[in-house]
Every structure is written in structure tokens, then in C-alpha cells.
Structure 1
Amino acid sequence: MTQIHFTLNFEEMTKELLNCNLNNVIKGQLITIMNAYMEAERDKLVNANIKEKTDERQAVRNGYYERQLTVPVGTIDLKIPRTRDGEFSTELFEKYSRMDQTLVLMMIESVVNGVSTRKVTKLVESIAGKQVSKSFVSNMLKKLDPEIKRWSERPLTKNTYKYLFVDAMYIKVRENHKIVSKAVYIAQAINHQDKRELVGFSVSEKESHIAWQEFFADLRARGFSNPNLIISDAHKGLKSAIKEEFLDVPWQRCTVHFLRNMIDVMPKKNTEQERLILKSIFRAPTIQHAKELRDEFISLVEDNPKFQKVIDILDEGFHDATQFFKFPERHHKHIRTTNSIENTNLQIRRRESVIRIFPNQDSAFRLIGAVLLDLSETLDINKTFLK
């Protein structure tokens, strides 16, 4: 019996399809190859040539049926072989799924990179050659859900972590015919290889002790070990949750937020010198230098009642804002602020601003998860974060 033997490299074929302008030629070749592949599959099952009478025969050929398949270069018509007993089922579409999903991934990438659903719909129509609805695009995007779920729930036991940055941002979501605010919780860590790693995110209600506690409990359940330092802003619920969930782990108050809090209550005019000294406190090389600069600032302004509130804030928060001095000096610029995770927030905000209001919480989780998943792959190949 004559059989066809060949191996398809679907990833390579996908690359060729996406980069080729000869759509009709490529489509014709693809149809020929796929039809031949399925024919060979059926030949193997039947185990006999056409009309051949043999005890080895396992089935009888029974023609074909047609099926359309949408691929990045358009829609192709395939001839699917059949057997009389209906037992034949091609494995091609399972093997071809990576190719079949490139259209879905194109849509996902477009949305993740800030293209509106309406524009994505038009893009799909131009590629696939047929009209699609917004709901079609949305439903196709849901195919990413299992991957995001696996990534967001993955075990964190493979690495140990030196530093943990946590922050929250707010988005708008439609809920019960109203537009409400939801908090997006994000955790980014520096692992034992000195590389950044996005270790967790969730979309929940507004910031609170309970919400942060649940977020940290999830990290714990996935195997996240105690870091050497946790860096965040001074949100009351966040602080209390950190103390409760991470016993004996020091907390670093973000110095950018801390400085902003003090500058906001300072006189606006003729305070350049005072502001300069205040900022230099957290750029000092050692804790002793920082204390000296703090004392210098207080001596300079303590006789001015307009600065009393600034002095009170500085005294109250100095200890928490200088925990980074306990760690290597080369790490200071990275761990005294939440700038690293703020950059992640900006990437989300850039995409989210196109949508403005999410239709529901699931769609928010999907888009933000897709953005973070994409960013996490970039972080994996980045150079060492702590230099």
C-alpha cells in the first residue's frame, strides 16, 4: 500500500504565513499539504489500498466532507476524509491548533497593545475575509483565559525572593448597570538570580486590609517564601496586612510617595533649599548620613510654624522610609521606591486607557492578565535587575 510520509513544522509554517504576501499561493500549498496529510491518516487506519481485498483491512473509505478553517491569510476549504463506519477522526486540527490560534493571538496582541475591539474587528475582517462581530472577537479572546489562569496560579516554589514590591491601581468596570471602581493588586519580586518576576495580580474591590490579606494569602498558598524586604506605599490596610502575613519581614516605605506627602504640606514659595535637603536624605550613602541630613533639615525649618506638619511627618515615617540602608548600597536605588512596579502599572494603564471602562470584571482580569503575561516574558530575558 502506498503511503505519504512527511513531517509538518507548524511553527515554521506559521512564521512563513504571517510574513508572506503571496496569500493565494500559500493558501493553495497549505490546502494541498493538509488534505494529503489527512488522506495519509485515513490510509493508515484503513490499512488497505482502494478496492483491495485483504484480511488486514480495518475500514472502508467513504468519500469526504468539506470544512472551512480560518488561518492568518484567510479562510481555506479542506476535504476531510470519511470512513463508512464513521470511526476515522483526523488528528490534524489538534496538531494544527497552534496555527489555527495565530489569528486569535493576533487579536489578543492587538487588544493587549491598546487597539480597541472595534478596530480589531475590522482587522480580523480584512485578514479573514469575512465579517465578524464584536462579540465574536470577545469570545475568541476568552481562549486566552486558561493560559492566564495557569500563569496567575502557578507555584512559586521554584525561586526564593529577596525583595517584594506591591502596589494597587484603580480601573473602571460596569457592574449591575453602574460604573464602579475596582482595585488591581500587583506583586513584583526580585528573585535569587537578581531578576524581576511578576508573582501575582488580582482584580478586586477597593483597597482594604482584608483584600490585601487575601492577596498575600494567595501568594503564600502558591509557595511564596518570606522576602528580605517588602516595598510599598503607606496605605493603612496594606501596611497592616503586610505585618500580619509577613511576620518579621521589614517594610520599606516608598520614598517617592513619602517625599510627595511632605512636599504637599510645605510652603510653595521660596523653599528650594529645604526641598533639596529633604530629597537628599534618601539619596545618602549611609543611614548615618541620612540622619545628619534629617537633623539639618529640622534645624533649618523648626522655627517656622509652616513647617511643623512636615517635621511631624518626617519624624513619624523616617524609620520606615530608611529600611533600605540595611541592604547593599548598590541595591538602594532599586529598593527605596516602588518605581519598578509603577512602570508595570504604566504599561497596564497605556492599554487600559483605550478601553476606559471594562464591560465586566472578567474582561478586566483577561486584559490585565494578558499584559502582565506578556511583560513577564520580557522580564525573564532582561538583564540582571540588581547591578
Structure 2
Amino acid sequence: MTQLQFNLNLNVLKERIMESNMDVVVKSAIILVLNEYMEKERDDYLQAGAYERAAERVDYRNGYYERELMLSLGKITLKVPRTRNGAFSPTIFERYSRVDQAFALSMMEMVINGVSTRKVSNIVEQLCGEQVSKSFVSSLTEKLDPIVKQWAQRPLNIEYYPYIFVDAMYIKVREHHKVVSKAVYIASAINEANQRKVIGFNVNHKESYEAWKEFFLVLKSRGLQSPKLVISDAHKGLKKAIAEEFIGTSWQRCTVHFKRNIIGNLPKKNLASIILDLKRIFEAVEIKDARNFRDEFFDKYKDENKLEKALEILDEGFEDAIQYLNQPAKWHRLIRTTNSLERINQEVRRREKVIRIFPNTQSAFRLIGAVLMEYDDLLSKRRVNFEEKK
């Protein structure tokens, strides 16, 4: 990804801050940054700075035109640089348009469907600068929905994903004049090029075996091959669906959820020393060492009645929680938990909580899909860092 460096006019920014409220300050700062960013993009495209004579120059500056950009904090007006031949196009509008269109659509649909509050109405007016009609929402939806749908249905047989992470989160949706809870299924993965990807998502009524099975069948219909490992929590329906749909694949129980379950059943007395012994098991590099540490843990605490439930949980889920140790050691930290997918969920939640209640399922699919598209695009520019701190 191209790295751009540019200088901001801090005096202008300071003047805006001293004379404006915080909403205007934030908008002003964003406008300054984006305008400067586009200016630097034009310089790089032309291969020459302002008033600079250069043999490599490919075109000439041709002033600016104003264009509005819809952001989650409202509508802003930018000065877009242009060139004589008209071939230059800044990347900003493409990069920020999907999520913010989805956000605006979801907010507007709340108004149209009669579930808005005065606050929501004010937000919509700030976003759009006008009252919205059903036809206006429909025209925007027609442009955005096919993009999200195409991305959600893209083929997965182009590359192999050895490690897949799956999880579900819950959102609120208005349906038949009632507010209901719906599950959002999200699957991320690591490919053979050591890139993280968001490979699928769906919105369904509840988290169940049937819903997970349907989700996996859709992924397989798009060309997903059985991975080496599927990492998730211990939902019974999810486990059953993984076993049925990915023959020959190992299931890795998220060690973070597993340890929390064990610790939640420990006595408060001498808790620190017990947790230290428990962590030792999952810090092993070899699977035989983990089993030895597990046996030592049982020998040490088997006679303590207050630990009976915790020991039972450890014994029952132990093997499922150490399957990551069968993979190369460099992967252990990355594939023993669903932490990477939890971060994606947090980003979805950050956008979703502004709306709070989606006006319909399609609105939820649109906004969550746009957020995941943006996040997937960010992930595709990175490689897995094996040297990150634990």
C-alpha cells in the first residue's frame, strides 16, 4: 500500500478549533487531512510538485471541484484536485463510501419504518441535509446492496484456508412490529499466503445446529475446502455442524473461553496459584508436554473437593483445547483462540450500537456486510505477524 506523507496547515486547524464547537472541530480536521491527502495523491500521479519542472511529468494541474462525502459524523464538502486529461481519480471516495452509505441507509430506514426517535430524525437530517423519502432510500439501496451481495457470494476456491475461525454475535432487528434478537454468523480465515480474510457472514434467527450447518453449506458451495483446523467456542450445535460438514478437520476449542469456564468454577482461596498451574498447561510447545502438565495438575489437586467441577471441565474439554499443538509452533499463538475474530466482532459492534435496532434484516445485512468488506480490505494488505507479543 502506498505511503503518503504530507504537511497540514496547523494554523488553520487551530483557528477552527478556537472558534468552533467539537463537532465542527472534528469535521474541520477531517476535511483538512483529506484535502491534503488528495493533493499529495495528485502530486504522485503527476510525478511533479506544484510549479515544478520535471521530465517525468505525465499531466498538468487543472484546479479543483467541490464534492460532498457522507461520513458517519455527517456530510462534508471536499476540494477535489483534478488534472487536464481528467484521468486522475483520488482513492478517498471509493474507500469510505460503502460503510458510510450503509450507515446512512440504516438510519434513514429507521425513520421511514416508523421506529425512529427525535434524536434519530435529527441525525438523519444532519447526515443528508434534507428529509428523506422511500424513493431516495431505494435509489441508494439499489446501488449498495448488489455490491455487498456480490462480495458475500464471491468464490472461495481460488485459495486454500488451512485455519478458519467462526463465531456468532447477536443484534436487535425489528420484525413484524416486534423487536427480535438475531444471530450474525461470521467466518474469518488465514490463507497460505499468511493473510487474514473475512470469508463469510450471514444473519439468521438464532444460533443453532441447523443454522450453523446451513452457513457451512453455503461456504462449501462457494468452493471452501475442508481446513486443517476450525477454531470456535464450544456451542454444541456448532461442534456438530463442524464435525459433519468438514470431514477430516480437527476442531480447536478456543483456549480463552475454555480457561474462563474452568476458572469460573474455581474457589476464591489460593486462586492465583491454581491459575498459574493451569496456564502452564497451555504454554506447552509440544502436545506430550501439555498432557504431562495436565496429569501433574490433576495429581496436585485431585483430593480437593472444591476443585471437583473445575477438574471435570478440564478433563472433558482438554483434548479439544490442545489441537493447535499438532500444527507448526509458529502458529500456536494465532490459532488457539478466536481473539482475531473477536476483534472483527468489536468493529461490527462499534458501528452497530449507533443504530441499536435495525429496521429490518436486509438493513443489518447491508451495514454489517459493508463493515466486513472494509475490514477485509484492510486485512488483505497485511501479513500475519508471528513475532507479535502475546
Aligned position for 2:125:
121
Question: What CA distance in whole angstroms lies between the structure 2 residues aligned with 1:146 and 1:192?
Answer: 29
Does structure 2 retain, via aligned residues, the 8 Å contact 1:195–1:386? Answer: no
Aligned position for 2:344:
344
Aligned position for 1:277:
277
Q: Name the CA shift for 1:103/1:312 in 2 (closer, same or farther; >3 Å).
A: closer
Q: Name the CA shift for 1:307/1:113 in 2 (closer, same or farther; >3 Å).
A: farther
By how many angstroms is 1:341 displaced? 0.5
Does structure 1 retain, via aligned residues, the 8 Å contact 2:106–2:363? Answer: no
Is structure 2 residue 107 aligned with structure 1 residue 108? no
Q: Name the CA shift for 1:215/1:385 in 2 (closer, same or farther; >3 Å).
A: farther
Aligned position for 1:148:
148
By how many angstroms is 1:372 displaced? 0.1
Does structure 2 retain, via aligned residues, the 8 Å contact 1:267–1:306? Answer: yes
1:123-138 pair list within 5 angstroms = 123-125=127-129, 131-133=130-132, 138=137
Does structure 1 retain, via aligned residues, the 8 Å contact 2:230–2:251? Answer: yes
By how many angstroms is 1:119 displaced? 3.0
Does structure 2 retain, via aligned residues, the 8 Å contact 1:196–1:385? Answer: no
Aligned position for 2:302:
302
By how many angstroms is 1:276 displaced? 1.1
Aligned position for 2:323:
323
Does structure 2 retain, via aligned residues, the 8 Å contact 1:112–1:351? Answer: no
By how many angstroms is 1:288 displaced? 2.0
Q: Name the CA shift for 1:265/1:112 in 2 (closer, same or farther; >3 Å).
A: farther
Question: What CA distance in whole angstroms lies between the structure 2 residues aligned with 1:144 and 1:315?
Answer: 50
By how many angstroms is 1:282 displaced? 1.1
Question: What CA distance in whole angstroms lies between the structure 1 residues aligned with 2:279 and 2:346?
Answer: 24
Q: Name the CA shift for 1:120/1:382 in 2 (closer, same or farther; >3 Å).
A: farther
**Deviation readout 1:115-163 (Å, 9 max, x if unpaired):** 97843531432xxxxx232757744552211100000000111101110
Question: What CA distance in whole angstroms lies between the structure 1 residues aligned with 2:128 and 2:330?
Answer: 48
Q: Secondary structure at the match of 1:201?
A: strand
Does structure 1 retain, via aligned residues, the 8 Å contact 2:153–2:222? Answer: yes
Q: How many residues align?
A: 301
By how many angstroms is 1:323 displaced? 0.4
By how many angstroms is 1:73 displaced? 5.0
Question: What CA distance in whole angstroms lies between the structure 1 residues aligned with 2:99 and 2:194?
Answer: 33
Q: 2:322 is matched by which residue type in structure 1?
A: T
Does structure 2 retain, via aligned residues, the 8 Å contact 1:114–1:351? Answer: no
Question: What CA distance in whole angstroms lies between the structure 1 residues aligned with 2:95 and 2:228?
Answer: 42
Does structure 2 retain, via aligned residues, the 8 Å contact 1:17–1:26? Answer: no
Q: 1:122 is matched by which residue type in structure 2?
A: Q
Question: What CA distance in whole angstroms lies between the structure 2 residues aligned with 1:322 and 1:156?
Answer: 28
By how many angstroms is 1:295 displaced? 1.7
Q: Secondary structure at the match of 1:369?
A: helix
1:154-193 pair list within 5 angstroms = 154-193=154-193
Q: Name the CA shift for 1:192/1:103 in 2 (closer, same or farther; >3 Å).
A: closer
Does structure 2 retain, via aligned residues, the 8 Å contact 1:195–1:379? Answer: yes
Question: What CA distance in whole angstroms lies between the structure 1 residues aligned with 2:92 and 2:279?
Answer: 54
**Deviation readout 1:235-281 (Å, 9 max, x if unpaired):** 00000000000011111000001011111111123211111111221
**Deviation readout 1:47-93 (Å, 9 max, x if unpaired):** xxxxxxxxxxxxxxxxxxxxxxxx9759xxxxxxxxxxxxxxxxxxx
Does structure 2 retain, via aligned residues, the 8 Å contact 1:186–1:200? Answer: yes
Q: Secondary structure at the match of 1:381?
A: coil
Does structure 1 retain, via aligned residues, the 8 Å contact 2:183–2:203? Answer: yes
Q: Name the CA shift for 1:176/1:337 in 2 (closer, same or farther; >3 Å).
A: same
Question: What CA distance in whole angstroms lies between the structure 2 residues aligned with 1:375 and 1:102?
Answer: 11
Q: 1:370 is matched by which residue type in structure 2?
A: A
Question: What CA distance in whole angstroms lies between the structure 2 residues aligned with 1:326 and 1:106?
Answer: 39
Does structure 2 retain, via aligned residues, the 8 Å contact 1:107–1:137? Answer: no
Aligned position for 2:286:
286
Task: For structure 1, list consecutive stretches of 5 or more residues without a partner in the other structure.
Answer: 1-14, 31-70, 75-95, 126-130
Does structure 1 retain, via aligned residues, the 8 Å contact 2:262–2:314? Answer: yes
Does structure 1 retain, via aligned residues, the 8 Å contact 2:173–2:357? Answer: yes
Question: What CA distance in whole angstroms lies between the structure 1 residues aligned with 2:303 and 2:193?
Answer: 49
Question: What CA distance in whole angstroms lies between the structure 1 residues aligned with 2:208 and 2:221?
Answer: 20
Question: What CA distance in whole angstroms lies between the structure 2 residues aligned with 1:329 and 1:174?
Answer: 46
Identity %: 47
Name whichever of 227-236 and 133-142 sits farther off.
Answer: 133-142
Does structure 2 retain, via aligned residues, the 8 Å contact 1:266–1:307? Answer: yes
Question: What CA distance in whole angstroms lies between the structure 2 residues aligned with 1:100 and 1:284?
Answer: 48
Aligned position for 2:42:
none
Is structure 2 residue 366 aligned with structure 1 residue 370? no
Question: What CA distance in whole angstroms lies between the structure 2 residues aligned with 1:322 and 1:72?
Answer: 51
Cα RMSD (Å) of the superposition? 3.3
**Deviation readout 1:299-325 (Å, 9 max, x if unpaired):** 222111111111111111111000001
Q: Secondary structure at the match of 1:161?
A: coil
Q: Name the CA shift for 1:282/1:168 in 2 (closer, same or farther; >3 Å).
A: same
Does structure 2 retain, via aligned residues, the 8 Å contact 1:195–1:380? Answer: yes
Question: What CA distance in whole angstroms lies between the structure 2 residues aligned with 1:198 and 1:324?
Answer: 21
By how many angstroms is 1:291 displaced? 1.5
Aligned position for 2:261:
261
Q: 2:370 is matched by which residue type in structure 1?
A: A
Aligned position for 1:248:
248
Q: Name the CA shift for 1:117/1:163 in 2 (closer, same or farther; >3 Å).
A: farther
Name whichever of 286-295 and 172-181 sits farther off.
Answer: 286-295
Q: Name the CA shift for 1:291/1:356 in 2 (closer, same or farther; >3 Å).
A: same
Question: What CA distance in whole angstroms lies between the structure 2 residues aligned with 1:140 and 1:123?
Answer: 16
